[in-house]
Chains A and B, each alone.
Chain A
Amino acid sequence: MVGQEKEVSLDSVQQLEAVEITDKMKKELETAMKMNVSVDEFLASSSSISFIKRGAYAWEPMLNNMSSERATITIDGMHVFGACTDKMDPVTSYVESNNLAAVNITSGQQGNANGSTVSGSVDLQRKTTPFSMQPKWEGAYQSGFELNNEQFYHQGNVAYANKKLVAQGSISYREAGNYTDGNGEEVNHSQFKKFNTSVGAAYKTGELSSVRVDAIFDVAKDVGYPALPMDLWLSRALITSATYKQLYEDGWVRAWDTKVYYNTVEHYMDDTTRPENLVHMDMPGWTTTYGLVSKAHVMKGKYHAEVQLNAYDNLSIAEMRMYPQDRSERTMFAYSWPWVTTRYAGLSINNSLEIAPKSELNFGGALGVNYNYAKYIDFNWIFHPGAPQEKTRWLPSVYANYTLKVNDFDFSVGSGYGHRAPSVSEGYGYYIYNSFDRYDYIGNPNLKNEVSYEVNASAGYQTEKVQVKAKVNYFYINNYIIGRILNMGSPMNYQSVGVKGYTSLDYATLFNFSLNTSYALTNNLHWEGTLTYARGMDEDQGNLPFIRPLSYQTSVHYKYKEFGFQTSFNGDLAQSNFSPEYGEDLTPAYSILNVSADYTFQLHNFKTVVQVGAENLFNQYYSTYADWGNIPRMGRNIFTSLQIKF
């Protein structure tokens, strides 16, 4: 057995966990309430992630209450860029919960390893099966049905491993109809269909080295966006990578992991399902990304470091095709992303030094260079005459964090400084319609880097029964990029009320607080509670948009023999600090009660779990501060699921 353990540890993912250096949050991909969740639902259970929702599908994750441009969202360190100018396809929409093992969320500049960031990084980690001395097969099948939107899904995983070879695959299909809100009204255009499959194979090339290839293929079809005037006809993503890992038994460098990757995303929005629209429009978008991630783990005594080289080349294209009334006569055309190339290369080092058994210093830095090129810069010149077609930016980042443990208490303080480059939309977007505030957005190639100064602190108390952790962070962001009304512009999309240009505020500030507690009343009865609060303000002390009001969640888990019972109660207070300037209005408070029960048994020696539950049990009618167009959320939803592991 011992020998087998050692063999298993040759898979470097296992090895890496041993030298985990940042305060990363790892969770199995299931929430406390629901054992089969979408990636979005899973992320929503983290206290540092909130979501902008435009429907039932593909929510935009917000880390530390900042929009997704300010985070680096990666899959195993790979950059994938959504192809929708309206951010309908965040990276998280191209993976499925059954091909992910964990999500690493790192707040602020500590998340600089995968690229320059302000709010932090979200790294979606794919499942990897370790090599095994004994050839073995593993698999799981999950299926379920959700009553509210008649969603059903089937998901399957298989993996084979021996001491030289690993092969694994997953497949998933979800299909949902329109959901019904708490008033029993059907929310039109909220249906979706999603197919996702992944394959991976690893081969051990030596005692301490292996090569691995992976691919994810994802297709979404007929996805409705009730908050938008158009829907998704089809999106597809192909995400591929090849990785070489080498471990070293001694020396400073203990592991070296190099990955080359390629991914391509296509996203076709149109309004063929909206005959009422005055003007018909297609908004296809494409992104193609090539990249390299190379990571070395350095270890010497009490010092650990992770050195990472990151490089990618991305081409983003988005078109706007308008049809006056007759769809066969397309007369109008413009690029909303005029063939924008982004090249990035960055080197980061994250160090961890154990000063004493009870205290640790984490510090690090990164330097990136970001290059943009717009092929059809003519489009941008209309609003920004003479803007440069090419732009190179240097993006530095540094941070330090000190952790101290005193008996059952732990404390940490930290600080960080970093730059980020404007996103493709912020720099080069052209008449990108935002249905939240109903403005057309114009990018500005001359925008300055956003510069973030952050401080953070945490305090925790942990015994066997009780865990309490409080975290705060504060960001002061210079040149904060946001859309401001451009008087000279005239809207292009008929639903819009005006034109906004991305501009830099002198500064903006963001404050985030979270309190997580858990208490084990007995071995079988657990209570958990979470409280989050955030405040975001611009230079004139006005409110920033999409800042979550005070929110809470409390849940109880009870286990009795093979049965499990869970109940959770969560909600937001009223969003009193809303921003009318950005199209927000006061969102009232809401609270939701969820319950579920599960039963575990053996079916032909296969571990089987069945679960039934209800979300929004009292069928509340509500929408949250981040729901576009105040689209109501789902009413009562009864769900059932079945999981078989073999």
Chain B
Amino acid sequence: MIHLVVAVCIGMVITACTLDKIDYEAELATAIPQAYEFEEVVLIESNGYRIEIEALNGTFYKGYNELHFTVTNMSNNQTVDDAAITWLPIRQLNTAAYSCPHSYNVLYDATNGYYSGYSVFDYESGLEGTWEFYMSVEINGELFTIQQGIEVMAQPNMNLNMTTFTGADGISYYIALVAPVSPSVAENDLVAGIYQYNQPEEPAGVFPDPSQFSFSEVQGATVLLDPRMPEASMGNHSSPNNEDLTQMTEGLYHGVVNYTMTGNWTLNFMFLDADGNLLAGTEVPTDFTPGIEGAKSELYIDILF
């Protein structure tokens, strides 16, 4: 009897769980290394004004970068909300200069109290060239320009990946993911910026001539979405209730992606222009094929969370 009681007591002591539960919230963060907040990435003092640019995590990354500009008059420490700002990122490779999708005119957002713009860097700084930006600021008729080199880092968060392609119409297109920054096993609002490169119609003027580096948001296109888990073991697994990407009034494209579990996913796209013509991408097989790696569309973005 005594032995029994002792045995049972020992048994009860060791009943603390032997296998820990997954900390799901922490699990979601493993593939998304940083805490994402807007922090200062550029600070310039020029012509009596202090110009500050904020980007997520205080860093320029390959892919979509939302940029917040503030202009402060250093003499009275007042912020300026009626400046006319232009922004032009330039990549220098050997002797050639390139740009990337960007908001050339940076407009004031009164609600948030900053000038809002974006830049979709398509290369990291390094072997593929060096990045710099050209800015012009006009305040009360006074115009000054700024040029500064910047560093574009590799995108550590695959959920903000991007892709570039040439459509059947010969135009260069860019699709860059904007959200979800940190997806979960849920219905996720999928947001992407879609841009095109506009071929210059005039010969180049004085460098940097913005007409030579013109990009615009693609209007009225539709991106058909088919998310799948590409690994052979997942047998081309997909999810239900996804919604294709269509353009909202603010210019970005919105859809819904359902991730049924954490892991590697491929967003397979078919890109249709405003008239419904297929410009890029292929349909992917929907069969469940365990042991065979899922075929990807010719147009896709891989993500991981």
Binding site for B on A (CB under 8 A): 158, 160, 167, 169, 171, 197, 199, 215, 217, 219, 234, 236, 238, 264, 266, 268, 278-279, 284, 286, 317, 319-322, 324-325, 331-335, 376, 378-379, 381-383, 385, 431, 486, 488-492, 494-498
Contacts and interface: CB of A to CB of B under 8 A. Distances in A.
Contacts of A268: 18-19
Nearest to B287: A490
Given A334-B185, A492-B260, 19 more contacts: A169-B4, A197-B4, A217-B15, A234-B19, A236-B18, A238-B12, A286-B21, A319-B21, A331-B304, A334-B260, A376-B24, A378-B186, A383-B241, A431-B261, A486-B240, A489-B240, A490-B238, A491-B237, A494-B234
A199 B261 contact: no
Interface in B165-188: 184-187
Contacts of A284: 19, 21
B241 A385 contact: yes
Interface in B151-167: none
Contacts of A376: 24, 185
29 contacts: A171-B7, A197-B4, A197-B8, A217-B15, A234-B18, A264-B15, A266-B18, A266-B19, A279-B233, A319-B21, A324-B233, A331-B262, A331-B264, A331-B304, A333-B263, A334-B185, A376-B24, A376-B185, A378-B186, A382-B187, A382-B239, A382-B241, A382-B260, A488-B240, A490-B236, A490-B286, A492-B237, A494-B233, A497-B288
Given A322-B263, A492-B261, A217 B19 contact: no
Given A217-B11, A331-B263, A489-B240, A167 B288 contact: no
B109 interface: no
B231 interface: yes
Interface in B208-247: 229, 231-241
Nearest to A501: B240
A333 B261 contact: yes
5 smallest A-B Cβ distances: which pairs? Answer: A378-B186, A279-B233, A332-B263, A334-B261, A494-B290
Interface of B: 1, 4-5, 7-8, 11-12, 15, 17-19, 21-22, 24, 27, 184-187, 229, 231-241, 258-264, 286, 288, 290-291, 304
Given A266-B17, A376-B24, A385-B241, A169 B5 contact: yes
A488 B8 CA distance: 50
B7 A491 contact: no
Given A379-B185, A381-B186, A158 B4 contact: yes
Contacts of A486: 240
A264 B16 CA distance: 10
Given A333-B262, A494-B234, A171 B4 contact: yes
Max chain B C-beta neighbours (<10 A), residue from A197, A385, A494: A494
B240 A236 contact: no
Nearest to B261: A334
